[in-house]
């Protein structure tokens, strides 16, 4: 495994982040625990979750699975940089979601209980809350940090101007503010290159891409379809049909350089400015094994140019659309 600092911090994290969203609803607890053990053994020390994860098993179920894994001991908690998120509604009563000071306090306490830990390394806002002012948010986060319940604060799904507004408000309070931004980013979805990546780079935030393989579209879906090893619903089928020439050309390029499409998609993200490491969310141990190879894949300039031709990106704004 390779490591880097998370943004401008001195915190060392692996260049792949283990996403836990599938733990519980898609992957049973025993397999989830095995995947976490394998990830740690492979050197992945950066885990990501959210209080709402659990879906059919119930909101909070995923954090509980991670917490029971931590409780097995053996240095598990001490070795892991644990990131989790708040914002989504955890119930139907007022103040059970979003970013009021009340919910920030309650959500943190609840995540600590589920994770069976006394602190969260990276506490992330899952979405912008336009109804909460930054002084309220930062004061609540400052209290948690003073109490030792969180160490760093991150954002997720923020626009570039949200990052700027958050950081300027934090600076006025002499607070560190955001250290990371978790965004939807992959070869097929490159909009964050307009303003989010430049803002993150300028403010020293580490970018943590989610859905790095576009829900499987960049994982060799055409070949798997041909082999009969991949089935998907109507919505994904229409997407594949609309992008088939592009995906076929991508998989042909991967074959030319003798690399799996999934590894190339992850390796490409590791070349992007401000990116700390993509989130890989395996449902099976085999999917984890496949992802691990990405950190050893080197894409030369010729391949990177070809990928840009296949999946056109954005220059930073305003140059992308103005002189």
Q: What is the set of active-site residues?
A: 53
What is the sign, positive or negative, of the torsion defined by CA atoms of 137, 139, 144, 146?
positive
Cβ–Cβ contacts within 10 Å for residue 292, how many?
20
25 Cα distance to chain centroid: 18
Question: Strand 120-125 to strand 81-86: parallel, antiparallel, or no bridges (unpaired)?
Answer: parallel
CA neighbor of 206 nearest in space, from 127, 152, 274, 268: 274
Residue 134: CB partners within 8 Å, gap ≥ 6? Answer: 165, 166, 169, 170
Q: Are 59 and 52 in contact (CB under 8 A)?
A: yes
d(C-alpha 299, C-alpha 307), whole Å = 10
Q: Which two tokens stand for residue 197?
A: 């990546």
Q: At 183, phi and psi to the nearest 5?
A: -130, 155
d(C-alpha 126, C-alpha 112), whole Å = 17
- For 209, which DSSP code? E
- Tell me which H or E stretch contains 223: helix 221-227
Gyration radius of the chain over CA positions: 20
Cβ–Cβ contacts within 10 Å for residue 223, how many?
18
Residue 279: CB partners within 8 Å, gap ≥ 6? Answer: 17, 18, 19, 48, 182, 208, 209, 210, 212
Task: Name the residue with tokens 């880097």.
Answer: 4
């Amino acid at each position: 495994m390779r490591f880097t600092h998370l943004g401008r911090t001195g915190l060392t994290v692996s260049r792949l982040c283990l996403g836990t969203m599938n733990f519980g609803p898609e992957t049973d607890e025993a397999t989830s625990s095995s995947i976490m053990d394998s990830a740690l053994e492979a050197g992945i020390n950066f885990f990501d979750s959210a209080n709402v994860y659990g879906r059919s098993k119930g909101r909070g179920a995923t954090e509980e699975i991670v917490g029971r894994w931590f409780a097995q001991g053996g240095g598990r908690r001490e070795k892991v940089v644990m990131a989790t998120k708040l914002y989504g509604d955890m119930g139907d009563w007022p103040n059970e979601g979003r970013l009021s000071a009340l919910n920030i306090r309650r959500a943190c306490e609840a995540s600590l209980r589920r994770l069976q830990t006394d602190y969260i390394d990276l506490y992330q806002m899952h979405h912008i809350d336009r109804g909460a002012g930054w002084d309220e948010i930062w004061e609540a986060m400052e209290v948690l940090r003073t109490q030792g319940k969180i160490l760093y604060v991150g954002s997720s799904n923020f626009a570039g101007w949200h990052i700027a507004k958050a950081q300027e408000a934090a600076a006025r309070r002499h607070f560190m503010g955001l250290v990371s931004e978790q965004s939807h980013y992959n070869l097929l979805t490159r909009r964050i290159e307009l303003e989010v990546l430049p803002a993150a780079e300028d403010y020293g935030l580490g970018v943590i891409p989610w859905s790095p393989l576009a829900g499987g579209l960049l994982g060799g879906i055409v070949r798997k379809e041909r082999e009969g090893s991949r089935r998907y619903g109507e919505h994904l089928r229409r997407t594949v049909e609309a992008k088939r020439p592009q995906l076929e050309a991508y998989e042909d390029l991967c074959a030319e350089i003798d690399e799996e499409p999934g590894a190339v998609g992850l390796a490409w993200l590791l070349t992007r400015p401000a990116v700390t490491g993509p989130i890989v969310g395996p449902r099976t141990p085999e999917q984890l094994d496949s992802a691990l190879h990405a950190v050893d894949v080197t894409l030369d300039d010729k391949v990177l140019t070809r990928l840009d031709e296949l999946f056109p990106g954005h220059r930073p704004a305003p140059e992308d659309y103005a002189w």
